[in-house]
Structure 1
Amino acid sequence: MRGDYTSATVVSTATNYIMDKGNVFTHTFRSYIQLRENGSLNLKFWHSNAIDSTWDMGQVAVGSQLGGEWLIEAAFVADGGKTPDGKVVEGSQIPVTFAGKDSKKVTPGEKFYSDEVSIHLPEGHYLSFTWTITTCSPGKTYPFNVEQMLVTAYDAPGNLAHQESATSFTESENMLVFPSYIGYKKDVGEHIVFLGDSITQGVRTTKDAYEYWVARIAAEMGSNVGVWNIGSGWGRAYDTATDGSWLYKAKQGNKVIIALGVNDIDIGKRSAEQLLTDLTTIVSKIKETSPSTEVTLFTVPTFNFSGEQENVWRKVNHTILTHPPVGVSRVFDVAHVLSQAAPNDHLLKPEYMSSVYDPHPNGLAGKAISDAFMSWYRRHYGDSVLV
C-alpha cells in the first residue's frame, strides 16, 4: 500500500475467521473507526478475500485459505459523529464505488481497490463505514476478524447500507467485517507494518480507547509516519511463513516490525527450532521481495509460560537476542519490558495483566511498551521523520 496512500487507522482488520452458513443471505455491517487524521480526506479501500491467520486449530479457518464468492450490494462512508451509536450524521453518507459501480462481485482470493472517495470529517468524529454483503452460495464465504471487539460496530439482516438511522442494527460481538485496509492520500516518510498476533492487535484492551501499544506508538510517531497494524488474534509465525495473504500485506511496508511466537509456543506446540525456522523464512521472504525493506524483530512477548513451553520461550528469545535470523536489522526486547525480575522473568508483571487469569497485556502495558519502544527507536533513528 505504498505510494500516494497510507493507512488511515491503527485498527487491525486482519482476518482470522470465515462466515460459514448453510444458506444464502444478505447482511449489513456498520463500523466506527478513529482515523489518524481528520479534516478533508481522500480515501481508498482495499480488500483481500482470504484468511490471514488460523483460528484455534483450524477447524473452520486456516491461514491463507481463500474466501468464497460474495457480492457487495452497496457501501458507504459517512461522518459517524462523536458517539458510535449505530447511526450516522444526517446527509453525510457518500457511496463507495468499485470501477465506477455501486456493487461488486468478489471472487475467491481476489484483491481489489475501491475508487477514491472524498469526505470531510470534523475533529473528534468517527469515520463510519457501512456495507451490505450477499453471499452467493451456502458454506464458507467472506473472511472477517472474530476476536474481541476493539472498535464499536453494528450489524443487521437485509440490505440497509443506505440507511442513516440505527433502526434494526444491533451491536456486533466478536465480529468485525471490514475492508482489509483504509488508505488516505498522504505523503509519509515511512510505511511501517506491524505484523503480530492478538498482542499486536490489542486484544483485551478497552474498546474504542486505542490504548494498545501499536496505537500508542503511532500517536507518538505522528502522522508523517505511516502505520499499518496487521496483528491477528491467534496468529502464529507458521501462518505467515506460508507466504500467503498475511505476509503479502506485511511486504507492503518499507519497515516491517515482527512480534510473533506466543501462539506458536502455546496452541501450536512448536519447538524452538521450528519457530526460529519459521521466523527466518518470514524475514527471507520479505527480503526476497524487497531487499531494502528493514526488518525489526521483537523477542517473543512474556505470556506466563511454564514447563517445556517456558524452555522453548527462553531458547527462542536467547537466539533472537544473540543470533537473530539473517536479514533482521534490529531487535527490540519486548519481553524485558513486560517481564517480572529474574528468576520469574517468564511471568508478566501483575499490573500488566488484562485480568488475574489472562496474560494479554492491558492498556498500562501498552504504554510501557510504547514508551520503551519510542526511546529505543529514537536512539536508532533519531527524530527526522517524527512529528
Structure 2
Amino acid sequence: MSSPRQRQLLLALVTAVTVGSTVLVATANAHREAPAPESWVASWAMAPAPAGAGKSKTGFTDQTIRMIVRTSVGGTKARVRFSNRYGTQALTIGHATVALPWPDAGPGDLKPGSVKDATFSGQKSVTIPPGGTAVSDAVDMEVPWGADLAVSVFLPVETGPSTWHVYARQTAYIGSGDQSGSASGANLPETRNNYYFVTGVDVFNRTGEGAIVVLGDSITDGFMTTVNASHRWTNYLATRLNKESPGGNAPGILNAGLTGNRLTGDGTGLGFPELGANGFARFYSDVVAQPGVDTVILALGINDIWLGKRDANTIIAAMQQIAALAKADGIRVLVATLSPWNGFESAPGVVTYTPSLDSVRLAVNSYIRTTTDFDGIIDFDMALRNPADPTKLRPEWDSGDHIHPNDAGNEAMAKAIPLDLLLWDAGDKDS
C-alpha cells in the first residue's frame, strides 16, 4: 500500500493531459444551432470520480463543506446537482445553500444577505441512494456571469466514501455542524483542494445559448494553474466568449477534465480510482447529461501514450468512437491535437518522454489534422509548441514540468481558439 506522500507524487506524475492554445480547422458545418431561449443551461460542472485516499475515503459526518465554483454564464435562477455516483451507501444532504462569496471579509465568508436555501421538491433535505443523483429546486437569484458562486452542503449522517474531484484548484472549507446558512466562514477551519458531491450548477438563462463540454485530462483540469484564481483555459475561454459573443450572449463552458484521465483505461487499473473512468464510460454522464449541451471538445489522449503505452491506431479508434457517440446524440464534436511534452518526468529523475513515444503523438496529430470524423479541430500542438523545438512547450508557457501550461499558457490557449467555431452569428440565429 502506498503512503499518502507516494500517492500524491504518483498522482502528480499521472497528470499529463492534452492541452494547448488553439488553431482551429472548421468543417463546412461549423456554426452551432441556436437552442430555444429561456431554458436551463449548465454554467459549471465538475467530472466526478471514486474516492481515493484521505478525506474522500473516510467521508463526512455532521459536517458542512463550503465549495466555490466559477460560473461561465449567468441567469435569473440557479439549481444545483449533487451526485452519489460512486457512493457505497445512501448520502443524506441535510441542508444546502447557494450564495455569493465575500473573500475580502475572510476565508470562506459569504456576502451578507446573499445566502439562499436550495430545497429538494420543497424539502430542506434529500437522501440519494448509491449511484444516484439529485437536483435542487430553482433558487431565485441573479447568478453572475463568469464569477464565483458558493455552494454549502451540510451532511448530517455518515456519508461513507465520497464522489469527488481530486484536483479542484479551489479551496473547500469544512467545519462541524450545520454551517450552510451562516455567512461566516469562521466555523469552517479545515480546508481541502477538492470538490465533494457537487457536480453541477445550472442557470435559467435568458438567451438559451446552450453549453460546450470539454472532455479532457489534467491540462483541461488546470493541474498547474494558480489555486483560487480560476486560470484554467476553459475559464479564460468563458470570459472571452462573454466579452466577444454577438449581442453579449455566450454558451456555457463546462470543464469535464480529470487529472490522469485516459480514453482507454480507468484509474482503478492503476490503483488510483480518483483518476476516473475512461472517456467512453464518462461520455454519457459527464457530457450528454449536461443541460443544454450541443458541443463537446475531445481533449484526451496524451495519457494513453505515456501512461497506457497505447499505439496510435488504438488511440485513433477510441477517438473515432467518441465522435460516433456524440453524433448519435446530435452533439457537435471538436477534437484537440496533443500538445508537446518533451522533458516531462513521471518522477524526479525518471524520464517519461522518449522520441519513440512521441512518434505516437505525432501520428495521432496527423490523423486529427486530416480526418473528417469531427466537426472541427483545435490545434493545441501548434499553438503551444516552441518554434525552436516543436517537441517542447514554449518556455514562457511551461509550468515547469514540461507538459502542463502555466497560467499564461492557459490564457494563450483560450485566445487562440477561433470563436466562429463556438458561436453562431445573427444569420444563424435567424435561420
Of residues 189, 192, 197, the one that matches 2:212 is 192
**Structure 1 residue aligned with 2:196:** 177
Q: Determine if contact 1:73/1:103 at 8 Å carries over to the other structure.
A: yes
Q: Determine if contact 2:223/2:259 at 8 Å carries over to the other structure.
A: yes
> For each residue in 1:17-66, what CA deviation from the matched residue of structure 2 results, as whole angstroms up to 9, or x when unmatched?
4265468723211122343466x73101123432xxxxxxxxxxxxxx56
Compute the displacement of 1:106 (Å): 0.9
Q: Determine if contact 2:143/2:203 at 8 Å carries over to the other structure.
A: no
- Residues of 2 paired with 1:251 and 1:92: CA distance? 25
Compute the displacement of 1:183 (Å): 0.9
Q: Determine if contact 2:221/2:259 at 8 Å carries over to the other structure.
A: yes
Alignment of 1:199-238 (within 5 A): 199-222=219-242, 223-238=249-264
SS of corresponding position for 2:192: coil
Compute the displacement of 1:380 (Å): 8.6
The residue type paired with residue 364 of structure 1 is A
Q: Determine if contact 1:79/1:125 at 8 Å carries over to the other structure.
A: no
- Residues of 2 paired with 1:368 and 1:337: CA distance? 8
Aligned residue pairs, count? 357
1:340 to 2:391 alignment: no
Q: Determine if contact 1:240/1:247 at 8 Å carries over to the other structure.
A: no
SS of corresponding position for 1:316: helix
Name the CA shift for 1:380/1:130 in 2 (closer, same or farther; >3 Å): closer
Compute the displacement of 1:136 (Å): 4.7
**Structure 2 residue aligned with 1:271:** 311
Q: Determine if contact 1:31/1:178 at 8 Å carries over to the other structure.
A: no
Compute the displacement of 1:123 (Å): 9.2
**What's the % identity of the aligned pairs?**
25
Alignment of 1:1-387 (within 5 A): 4-9=39-44, 12-18=45-51, 21=57, 25-36=61-72, 41-50=76-85, 68-81=89-102, 83=104, 85-120=107-142, 126-134=148-156, 136=158, 138=160, 140=161, 142-147=162-167, 149-170=168-189, 172-177=191-196, 179-186=198-205, 187-222=207-242, 223-238=249-264, 239-242=278-281, 243=283, 245-249=285-289, 253-290=293-330, 293-304=331-342, 305-323=353-371, 326=373, 328-341=374-387, 344-355=389-400, 357-373=401-417, 376-378=418-420, 383-384=425-426
> For each residue in 1:342-363, what CA deviation from the matched residue of structure 2 results, as whole angstroms up to 9, or x when unmatched?
6x322111111112x3521111
The residue type paired with residue 279 of structure 1 is M
The residue type paired with residue 92 of structure 2 is L
Q: Determine if contact 2:73/2:251 at 8 Å carries over to the other structure.
A: no
The residue type paired with residue 252 of structure 2 is G
SS of corresponding position for 1:101: coil
- Residues of 2 paired with 1:332 and 1:310: CA distance? 19
- Residues of 2 paired with 1:166 and 1:289: CA distance? 43
- Residues of 1 paired with 2:260 and 2:69: CA distance? 23
Name the CA shift for 1:15/1:188 in 2 (closer, same or farther; >3 Å): same
Structure 2 residue runs of 5 or longer lacking an equivalent are: 1-34, 243-248, 265-277, 343-352
Structure 1 residue runs of 5 or longer lacking an equivalent are: 51-64
- Residues of 2 paired with 1:208 and 1:23: CA distance? 23
Q: Cα RMSD over matched residues?
A: 2.9
The residue type paired with residue 298 of structure 1 is A
> For each residue in 1:209-236, what CA deviation from the matched residue of structure 2 results, as whole angstroms up to 9, or x when unmatched?
2332211111111143222221222222
More displaced 10-residue stretch of structure 1: 193-202 or 173-182: 173-182
Compute the displacement of 1:100 (Å): 1.0
> For each residue in 1:318-371, what CA deviation from the matched residue of structure 2 results, as whole angstroms up to 9, or x when unmatched?
1111235x3x111121111111236x322111111112x352111111122112
Normalising by structure 1, we get a TM-score of: 0.82
Compute the displacement of 1:98 (Å): 0.8
Identify which of structures 1 and 2 has the higher relative contact order when contacts are C-alpha pairs closer than 8 Å and 6+ apart: 2
- Residues of 2 paired with 1:349 and 1:318: CA distance? 21
SS of corresponding position for 1:256: strand
Compute the displacement of 1:153 (Å): 2.3
Name the CA shift for 1:131/1:380 in 2 (closer, same or farther; >3 Å): closer
Q: Determine if contact 1:237/1:264 at 8 Å carries over to the other structure.
A: yes
- Residues of 2 paired with 1:125 and 1:294: CA distance? 27
Compute the displacement of 1:303 (Å): 2.4
Name the CA shift for 1:382/1:247 in 2 (closer, same or farther; >3 Å): closer
- Residues of 1 paired with 2:357 and 2:292: CA distance? 33
- Residues of 2 paired with 1:286 and 1:72: CA distance? 33
The residue type paired with residue 379 of structure 2 is D
- Residues of 1 paired with 2:73 and 2:371: CA distance? 39
The residue type paired with residue 280 of structure 1 is Q
> For each residue in 1:263-304, what CA deviation from the matched residue of structure 2 results, as whole angstroms up to 9, or x when unmatched?
2222222222221121112111122222xx211111122222
